[in-house]
Structure 1
Amino acid sequence: MSDKSTDTTQARLDGTVPSTRVGHCRKDETDVYIGRADGGDGHLLNTPIGERGWLGNPHPKDDHGRAECIELFREDFEDDQEFRAAVRQLEGDRLG
């Protein structure tokens, strides 16, 4: 795990911070789909930012186990400045 730490909180003009919420993509109203696309083949490493699947974790839980899958995704996230900037733009959205 990396020791990198960046404050990505962006306040609105009135000083409040928008609340980002996470729900279930099929059960809750959401703004942005955050899973894999194309039957699991579309994900962070092969999908252009903004297209369905761009937020999907490319590391299958069945191959790596849950904890390692999350850690590998975290490393991908920390290494990709463009991806991190795009994720910051989702602040205040409903993700699912």
Structure 2
Amino acid sequence: LTEQHQRAAMEVVRQMLSQLKDKQMNIDLPQRTTSEVCNPAIVQLEELHEMLNVFVGGVETLTNDGQRLVNELLQIQTVLPTLTEDLSK
């Protein structure tokens, strides 16, 4: 997923979690019944949110590693012609 897609997915989860929490507060049922109905969904969304955060962190790490490798490759490509020339002398 691109960074834009990751952020969009995280925002959807945040909005869904917020809506479920709002519904839980606004339902005119006894608190016990409301909690029984809404909490499993909220717990699942919170777990999904946590998993997405871990996933996003992993993607960021891979992106940073990829950029570091590109930078190292550019350095090697810059030095290689000079080393090749020195060896041929």
TM-score, normalisation: structure 1: 0.27
The structure richer in helix per residue is 2
Larger radius of gyration: 2
How high is the TM-score relative to the length of structure 2?
A: 0.28
Higher relative contact order (CA 8 A, sep 6+): 1
